[in-house]
Structure 1
Amino acid sequence: MTASELVALPAKEVLKRFKQKTLTPSDYLTACLSHIEQVNPQINALTAMDSDAAVKAAELATMRYAKGQPIGPLDGLPIGVKDLQDTKGLLTTHGSQRGRAYVPDADMPLVARLRAAGAIVLAKTNVPEMGAGGNSRNPVWGATANPFDANKLAGGSSGGSAAALAANLLPMCTGSDTGGSLRLPAALCGVPGYRPSVDVIAHPTRPVGWSGISVLGPMVRTIDDLLLMLDICQNADANDPLSIPAKAGRFGDITPRDLSGLRVGYSEDFGGAAVDQGIRETFKARVAHLAPHVKACVAVDMNLGDMDRVFDILRAESFVAAFDKGVQDTPEDFGPHIIENVELGQTFSLADRAWAHLEQTRILRKFNALMTEFDVILMPTVPVSPFEWTTSHPEMIDGTKMDIYYRWLALTYRGSLMGGPSITLPAGRDHHDMPFGLQLLGAVRGDEALLSIAKSVETLFAASPETARPVPDLQNIPPTQTDLRAFVTHPPIFKTDQGDESLALSTAV
């Protein structure tokens, strides 16, 4: 097997070969590092790395497998961690000049669980500044490009993770999602991205602990790998009042759903969001591909309420909680998106906040009623094909002006309001020959049921060239016309520093 074939293997296959002693963690890591050296400069998905520590960790894992004594289900597997998430001893900048020398002295709980399972934290993955926005570029590391075309964006805020997976740099990465940070870049790069129900993975660094719009989640290349990672990451934490205790094997035993009895609802635009006509046509083709295999496939009205204003208020609330003091004290430390969100939050009153929580509850109850009629709701994940990464966001979609920079994420952030699970699956290519993501929404706390459906849809789509997961030609990535580090104004400082407490949060999108 060639090195390029080796790094393209799913995580479960790699781990299987470790156990069979047909592949060692050291040899696999060597292949990954060589591949990263060749490809990462073209897409800038990985930021801070600790190759020396990873090599040593892989050597220890190799010895454990030789003795038949792996320390956990991920022993020896190199992973990437989103640069909003603290990693002990590894530079964690949050894409902000305020964190360009910040080296945490402890892992965040999600990372700690993965490391305890044997995973080797090799690298951090790129993000927008403080996770604000759907384009992963920042003043510390620059921009992340799409592996299908380095002139296009990879999405955000988990853009580095999505691009790293699509380019086979790593087999498993972490992400987080408020308004689409897992789903958006996964769709744009052609990999699965899962937003679990709010109680599945403890998120004790959430700025507003009782608000469930921000969650943590896995990013991988297959649903089987997603289930493996999710089973390890599920947990409770006293500092996250919304989390619940893990149930051993909760996600490891999920089997594919029989599609013949499936009741499918679908919407092209999630209640009237702006969607490009080419994306609508691609979506309709995917629905038509699925329809003959299910019991029912019916168009549904997803206008559940004033979802945009609710999200504006709840999101702004978390930005004020996280960044208000910093913006007031040192506004020069923050980019325009952070300042814009804080200023928006300051325009809302207590009455606005009360209305938003009431409306969010009404939206949830309407969605719950809808889900008594359907097993899953389908829609596009992203309203446009990937555009140039030099553009922050689309200003116009299908004749509709975007009134704020994140409005183009309405297809994903509207689903965040219910607190339930949603997943994007790679489903072929769109009208511009770029990856197309199909979004599936499940019932609140219906994670197992949604993932069972996702396994079946993944299998069905993989059987057809039109709908199978697209794979980039990594030997011929169209090169970017603009230096990916052109936006760097405050490069990272590689030294140990205690950093600022205000960085201990994971705001996303």
Structure 2
Amino acid sequence: MQPYDPASFRHLTFHDAVPAFLDGRDSPTDYLERCLATIEEKEPWVQAWQAMRVDAARAEAQASTLRYKAGRPLSPIDGMPIGIKDLIQTRDLPTGEGIQGNQVAPSGVDSASAQALRAAGAVLLGKLVTTELGGGEPSRTRNPFDPTRSPGGSSSGSAAAIGAGMLPAAIGTQVGGSIIRPAGYCANFAAKPTFGALNRGERLHSSQACLGVHAGSLRDMWSVMHEIARRVGGDPGHPGLFGPATPPTGTRPNRLIVMECSGWKVTDDRTQRAFDDIVEQLRSFGVSVQRRGDHPYIDAFEESLEEASEFTGVILGYESRWYNENLARGQAMLAASTLSSLEKARAFTLDDYRWALAQRRTAQECFARLAPLADALISPTSPGPAPALDARRPEAGAPIYVATGNPVFNLPTSLLLAPVVALPLMRVDGLPVGVQVIGQPHNDYRVADHAQWMTDNLLPASMA
């Protein structure tokens, strides 16, 4: 296992293999076999996979190979091996939701995203490990850059599989910070889109939950999102993902705002210095970067996020009570930390929930007022590198998910319902830490476009 070096690390990508598929120099069949070889090498210690359908995937890759030979691929992601987080239904694999010993049969039903990916010709290789019920109880998955560290959660397997080079893309979900934080820990490109932009299928019990994509490149990330959106749209009542099929090529932002929230004060010194390096590079390209103290609207926005952890916890706990009560019947299988979260949620009242919704709405209004001031916001994806797997101590500013990392920089973007793209632009103590680019709702393409420019023009910041 090589130490992480953002300057030399090479992600597994798919889009650049397509020309060779078309002229016969390569094929989806051979591409899949290379993925399987990497999985065979690394899975024993990364442990990203919950279940795999190798024979079926090989048959799908062969069908894709024939389509390329005929010059008729179904989409830009035809033949792409993809993993699905084990909170999302697929018709031919069980959905265990990260519960140890949860023996369930395949539902026979594809979630909206799985259905769309199959229609686009993608090769669904299997289910990727999630934390228990998508919560804070750590999974068995390990960080691909240091097996003593967490990959983050709850999209643990999705992030680790991309970081390990097992796949070019994987599907994750986020309610609080479950895509962007693991992406940062595992050196992924990743997107949490605008709330409702990608159809969640059956997972509709949270007013913040989003489907998103982990990938080895922004181009593949966008293509997967677009293919899902154009086939199954967004959540009911939402207009879906805006933006063309062509992935962004990169546009320099003119003005950015640093989102400090309550995360900056708990961010370690080395991560702060790495992030400040990114900010100075942006300024050297003529980008205006403002932060707390530079404008009253920014100060009001920051103030609106001071209790983000508290009111997010109320919203998520209250909204999931009915679902969790059903699961409580199988409490013998649930971890103590999960049962504790269920018990806490039972104490929330309707008045608590209404207070939390009002706080969230205030933050959203303050965020909207920033639109004329900046093209996007930026911040670290976490206050530091991935925590050790045995790190169970309380952590300031993180009342939830401590064992899989502090979500203090992620909770605000989830409650704002904003599009976010994670970029692997920092190394701290030899481990990845990401930078997130945050946009106004429905500006997903613009955010990805600025993210592509940053990827192409900024040097990774390293505090090794």
Tell me what 1:298 maps to: 290
What per-residue deviation string (whole Å, max 9, x for no partner) do you get for residues 43-66 of structure 1? Answer: 111221111111122222222222
1:111 paired with 2:111, answer no
1:257 paired with 2:257, answer no
Question: For 1:349 and 1:228, how far apart are their aligned partners in 2?
Answer: 42
State the secondary structure of the residue aligned to 1:297.
strand
1:232 paired with 2:232, answer no
Residue among 413, 416, 422 paired with 1:415 = 413
Tell me what 2:312 maps to: 311
Question: For 2:35 and 2:247, how far apart are their aligned partners in 1?
Answer: 30
> Does the C-alpha gap of structure 1 residues 24 and 74 become closer, same or farther in structure 2, counting only changes over 3 Å?
same
What is the root-mean-square deviation in Å for CA atoms of aligned residues? 2.5
Question: For 1:405 and 1:34, how far apart are their aligned partners in 2?
Answer: 33
Tell me what 2:349 maps to: 349
Shift of 1:197: 0.3
State the secondary structure of the residue aligned to 2:148.
strand
Residue among 189, 213, 219 paired with 1:218 = 213
Tell me what 1:285 maps to: 277
Code of the aligned partner of 1:293? F
Asked if 1 retains the 8 angstrom alpha-carbon contact of 2:135 and 2:338, the reply is yes
State the secondary structure of the residue aligned to 1:435.
strand
Question: For 1:378 and 1:308, how far apart are their aligned partners in 2?
Answer: 19
State the secondary structure of the residue aligned to 1:150.
coil
Question: For 1:423 and 1:131, how far apart are their aligned partners in 2?
Answer: 20
Tell me what 2:3 maps to: none
> Does the C-alpha gap of structure 1 residues 30 and 271 become closer, same or farther in structure 2, counting only changes over 3 Å?
closer
Residue among 228, 232, 238 paired with 1:243 = 238
Shift of 1:376: 1.2
Question: For 1:102 and 1:243, how far apart are their aligned partners in 2?
Answer: 32
Asked if 2 retains the 8 angstrom alpha-carbon contact of 1:207 and 1:318, the reply is no
Identity of paired residues, percent?
Answer: 27
Code of the aligned partner of 1:426? P
Shift of 1:368: 0.7
Tell me what 1:450 maps to: 447
> Does the C-alpha gap of structure 1 residues 368 and 49 become closer, same or farther in structure 2, counting only changes over 3 Å?
same
Shift of 1:246: 5.9
Question: For 2:460 and 2:370, how far apart are their aligned partners in 1?
Answer: 33
Question: For 1:239 and 1:287, how far apart are their aligned partners in 2?
Answer: 34
Structure 2: give runs of 5+ residues left out of the alignment: 1-7, 293-298
Asked if 1 retains the 8 angstrom alpha-carbon contact of 2:130 and 2:157, the reply is yes
Shift of 1:244: 1.9
Code of the aligned partner of 1:234? A
State the secondary structure of the residue aligned to 1:227.
helix
TM-score, length-scaled by structure 2: 0.89
Q: How does 1:165-204 map to 2 (within 5 A)?
A: 165-204=162-201
Asked if 2 retains the 8 angstrom alpha-carbon contact of 1:230 and 1:251, the reply is no
Structure 1: give runs of 5+ residues left out of the alignment: 138-142, 471-509
> Does the C-alpha gap of structure 1 residues 303 and 356 become closer, same or farther in structure 2, counting only changes over 3 Å?
same
Residue among 71, 85, 88 paired with 1:85 = 88
Larger mean Cα displacement after TM superposition, 180-189 or 404-413: 404-413
Question: For 1:271 and 1:372, how far apart are their aligned partners in 2?
Answer: 24
State the secondary structure of the residue aligned to 1:372.
helix
Tell me what 1:487 maps to: none
Question: For 2:148 and 2:64, how far apart are their aligned partners in 1?
Answer: 38
Residue among 21, 24, 28 paired with 2:24 = 21
Question: For 2:262 and 2:397, how far apart are their aligned partners in 1?
Answer: 17
> Does the C-alpha gap of structure 1 residues 271 and 161 become closer, same or farther in structure 2, counting only changes over 3 Å?
closer
Shift of 1:394: 4.9
